[in-house]
Amino acid sequence: MPDRTPAVPVRIDPRGPRFAAGLTTLVLLLVLATGSGVALVAQAVVFALGAILGLRWSPYGWLYRRLVRPRLGPPQELEDERPPRFAQAVGLGFAVVGAAGYLSGATWLGIAASAAALAAAFLNAVFGYCLGCELYLLGVRGRARLNHG
């Protein structure tokens, strides 16, 4: 579980993660087109920074604040940072597995993991739909079932 201690969760501009998902989609398309494990490693680093430090400190979040947000004006509402941050951690898992696949020669694994990450990033960018967040409850249910038999 990520930390749930802070009484007041960090709140962010919801358009930031959406913009980041758009860039992620493009990078993952590039990875699938070229089979570049190195590009996927770079994306994994971006995911890791977003998951560990928060989305505002990931490179895409930085780009959003520097280049995009000034043109959009202030957001109408802010959202809890934890759901998109959790999604970054899920993305990191897929990117690590995929990069290991590409770099070790198991190209099928690289393609499969990149494709799964692409689906999630694309749904987030285009429909604002957070696949990782949706799967979270199913994961909790499954874990509880395992623990209690």
Partner 1 sequence: MSDPTGLIVAAVVLAAATVFGLVRARRDGRLRDGGRGDALRLSADELGAALGERATLVQFSTALCATCPGTRRLLAEVAARTPGVRLVEIDAEARLDLVRRAEVMRTPTVLVLDRAGRVVRHASGPPTTADMESAVELAMAD
Could you give the CA distance from residue 3 to residue 10 in angstroms, rounded to a whole number? 12
Strands 79-80 and 11-12: antiparallel
CB of 38 to partner 1, least distance (A): 13
| Residue 47 in tokens | 């995911």
| Residue 148 in tokens | 């209690």
CB-count exposure of residue 141 (10 Å: 0-12, 13-18, 19+)? exposed
| Chosen residue from 82, 93, 96, 109 binding partner 1 by CB under 8 A | 82
* Residue 63 in contact with partner 1, rule: CB under 8 A: no
For partner 1, the closer CB: 4 or 66? 4
For partner 1, the closer CB: 34 or 53? 34
Could you give the CA distance from residue 122 to residue 83 in angstroms, rounded to a whole number? 16
The residues that touch partner 1, with contacts defined as CB under 8 A, are 2, 4, 9, 14, 28-29, 31-35, 79-80, 82-84, 86, 107, 111, 114-115, 118-119, 122-123, 126-127, 129-130, 133-134, 136-138, 140-141, 144
